[in-house]
Amino acid sequence: MMLAHLPVLEVLVPLAAAPLCALLRRPLLAWGVVMASTTFALGGSLVLLFQVLSNGVISYHIGDWAPPWGIEFRLDAANSFVLVLVSLVGTMCAIYGRKSVEREISPEAQPLFCTLLLLCFAGMLGVTSTGDAFNLFVFLEISSLSTYVLVAMGASRDKRALTAAFTYLLVGTIGATFYVIGLGLVYALTGTLNMADMALRITDIGDSSTLRVGFAFIIIGFGLKLAIFPLHQWLPNAYTYAPSMVSAFLAGTATKVAVYASLRFLYTVFSPNLHFDAQVLQTLFLPLGLAAIFVASGVAIFQSNIKRLLAYSSVAQVGYILVGVSFANITGLTATFLHLFNHAIMKSGLLLAVGCVVYRTGSCSISTFRGLGHRMPWTMAAFVIGGLSMIGIPATVGFISKWYLVLGALERGWWPVAFAMVAGSLLALIYFGRIVEAAYLQPSPEGNKVTEAPLSMLAPLWVLTISCLALGINSEFTVSSARAAANALFFDPHPGLSMQVGP
């Protein structure tokens, strides 16, 4: 009974727990609720992933209204994989959050902070699970609206968080509105909002100018949300001034969910057989992805604020993901899903480590990192492992995803692209090298009494760091899940209704 309703409970539990946090008014109780509901979501998403991998697509009909009329939650290998990723990062950030947020936000505001965090979390899980295109918009806005406020909550430390949140609000709303415009045009053409149904009807209708315009609006709308290279201007400030824990949470989830949503539209709704779809991948995603790798990594080298440096590095990593998508072959798509997952755990890990430094020193500029290698050995060790993984050293997850990206490029015969991606990793070596040099080779300033971060912050940081190493050495789980996800999108975009399970 419970298991049959798991797809909807996954989203409903955090969504219902959110107002509960606001009512409790006590930080400790509110954090308890956050941890309980994120842990539930993590457990649930793992169960769902294994169910999907062994039994195939799960289709859940909300309120028992049959699709295409009712709202459907449709879980295949692709989105159940993203669900695991979002809930894993969410749970680790929730455990980490209590101590970290204590320093950065006043006790009265903490229960409200928890409410927003859960709303954001529920929204992202909703975007990932839903099979209804308009429902996706609603969940997208639930998560985005709470994200704007979460970013603005960094204002108690630095007032620039307010302007960062305002810019994010403008850009995010324009992105979401573009998506609605595009969806309206596709709806006018097909008369349905269910993604699988929409895909079938688009195949019947074929190419038309309405469809092309709708497609363009949808891709640009998601492009703003996922920070495709020239549309990334909102991201560095938002990540820099948000509370540490929010930066880590967003870096691991927000852009990843947007990437997933655009893949869903590229592959499931608009099938790649449509001429313009393949064209977009090669003439738009490939050059923009490569530009992101080089320009954003180049900018990252000159940053002295570590959070901003990591934010630019995120833009560059989105570039790798886009290049992976542009190969339009099964290896490229596998690499995309792998990098989606791997980048999320390493970047969240890195930002959690920076959060530990902020907790102890109150600053995240590169000068505060001087000598920290000896003062905060555990935090900095995790940071170094995360950094090595970003560069793509073997035995870390970063290597696995870069390996598959290069394989995808070679399969297409795109030697220069493979070369460019490896060269991009060298840029990462430069900017991480600077931090490591400061932390281990430079002496700490006189009278520095910084000590190691508390255990409740180190534990989630090290869970991510160890999974970064473990999944880098034995990549069985991620590679097979990513391949199943890629297969689900690539070969079986419209699984027949006969495969339905559920109530």
Partner 1 sequence: MVMEYNFILAHYNYWAVMLLMAVGFYVVVSRGNLIKKIVGLNMFQVSVFMLYISIGKVTDGTAPILTGKTEVFSNPLPHVLILTAIVVGVATTAIGLALAVRIHESYGTIEEDEILVIDRTLEQQDARAQ
Q: Rank residues 237 and 481 by Cβ distance to partner 1 and give the closer one.
A: 237
Q: Tokens 């290698």 appear where?
A: 373
Select from 24, 138, 278, 450 the one that contacts partner 1 (CB under 8 A).
Answer: 138
- Rounded least distance, CB 233 to partner 1, Å: 12
Q: Tokens 């500029």 appear where?
A: 365
Q: Rank residues 61 and 402 by Cβ distance to partner 1 and give the closer one.
A: 61
Select from 10, 72, 141, 277 the one that contacts partner 1 (CB under 8 A).
Answer: 141
Q: Rank residues 181 and 393 by Cβ distance to partner 1 and give the closer one.
A: 181
Binding of partner 1 at residue 279 (CB under 8 A)? no
Backbone angles phi, psi at 119, to 5 degrees: -60, -45
Q: Rank residues 188 and 473 by Cβ distance to partner 1 and give the closer one.
A: 188
Q: Rank residues 52 and 186 by Cβ distance to partner 1 and give the closer one.
A: 186
Rounded distance between C-alpha atoms, residue 165 and residue 239, angstroms: 10
- Rounded least distance, CB 69 to partner 1, Å: 9
Select from 55, 106, 367, 474 the one that contacts partner 1 (CB under 8 A).
Answer: 367
| Burial class, 30, CB count within 10 angstroms (exposed 0-12 / middle 13-18 / buried 19+) | buried
Query: Which listed range, 56-64, 143-151, 247-255, 384-392, lies at the site for partner 1 (CB under 8 A)?
Result: 143-151
- Rounded least distance, CB 261 to partner 1, Å: 17
Residues 75-94, buried b or exposed e (16+ Cβ, 10 A)? bbbbbbbbbbbbbbbbbbbb
- Rounded least distance, CB 241 to partner 1, Å: 10
Q: Tokens 């190493």 appear where?
A: 469
Which string of x and - marks every residue 94-133 that binds partner 1 (by CB under 8 A)? ----------------------------------------
Q: Rank residues 36 and 138 by Cβ distance to partner 1 and give the closer one.
A: 138
Q: Tokens 């995240």 appear where?
A: 364
* Window 69-88: residues binding partner 1 (CB under 8 A): none
Q: Rank residues 40 and 134 by Cβ distance to partner 1 and give the closer one.
A: 134
* Window 152-191: residues binding partner 1 (CB under 8 A): 152, 155, 159-160, 162-163, 165-166, 169-170, 173-174, 176-177, 180-181, 184, 187-188
Backbone angles phi, psi at 132, to 5 degrees: -115, 125
Q: Is the distance from CB of 235 to CB of 347 less than 8 angstroms?
A: no
Q: Rank residues 111 and 214 by Cβ distance to partner 1 and give the closer one.
A: 214
Query: Which listed range, 8-16, 141-149, 250-258, 322-330, lies at the site for partner 1 (CB under 8 A)?
Result: 141-149
Three-class SS string for 222-289? HHHHHCCHHHCCHHHHHHHHCCHHHHHHHHHHHHHHHHHHHHHHHHHHCCCCCHHHHHHHHHHHHHHH
Rounded distance between C-alpha atoms, residue 105 and residue 103, angstroms: 6
Q: Tokens 């290597």 appear where?
A: 399
* Window 191-250: residues binding partner 1 (CB under 8 A): 193
Rounded distance between C-alpha atoms, residue 299 and residue 312, angstroms: 7
Q: Is the distance from CB of 151 to CB of 108 less than 8 angstroms?
A: no
Q: Rank residues 158 and 207 by Cβ distance to partner 1 and give the closer one.
A: 158
Select from 92, 145, 248, 344 the one that contacts partner 1 (CB under 8 A).
Answer: 145
Question: Please, which residues have CB within 8 angstroms of residue 355's CB and are 6 or more apart in sequence?
Answer: 96, 100, 244, 245, 247, 248, 457
- Rounded least distance, CB 314 to partner 1, Å: 20
Q: Is the distance from CB of 485 to CB of 337 less than 8 angstroms?
A: yes
Q: Rank residues 305 and 487 by Cβ distance to partner 1 and give the closer one.
A: 305
Select from 148, 320, 341, 431 the one that contacts partner 1 (CB under 8 A).
Answer: 148
The residue count for binding partner 1 (CB under 8 A) is 32
Other Cβ atoms less than 10 A from the Cβ of 108: the count is 9
- DSSP per-residue letters across 43-65: HHHHHHHHHHHHH--EEEEGGGP
Rounded distance between C-alpha atoms, residue 411 and residue 282, angstroms: 15
* Window 299-328: residues binding partner 1 (CB under 8 A): 304-305
Q: Tokens 């995603």 appear where?
A: 285
Rounded distance between C-alpha atoms, residue 411 and residue 497, angstroms: 33
Question: Please, which residues have CB within 8 angstroms of residue 247's CB and are 6 or more apart in sequence?
Answer: 239, 240, 307, 310, 311, 351, 354, 355
- Rounded least distance, CB 7 to partner 1, Å: 21
Select from 75, 299, 328, 366 the one that contacts partner 1 (CB under 8 A).
Answer: 366
Which residues contribute to the site for partner 1 (CB under 8 A)? 134, 137-138, 141, 145, 148-149, 152, 155, 159-160, 162-163, 165-166, 169-170, 173-174, 176-177, 180-181, 184, 187-188, 193, 304-305, 365-367
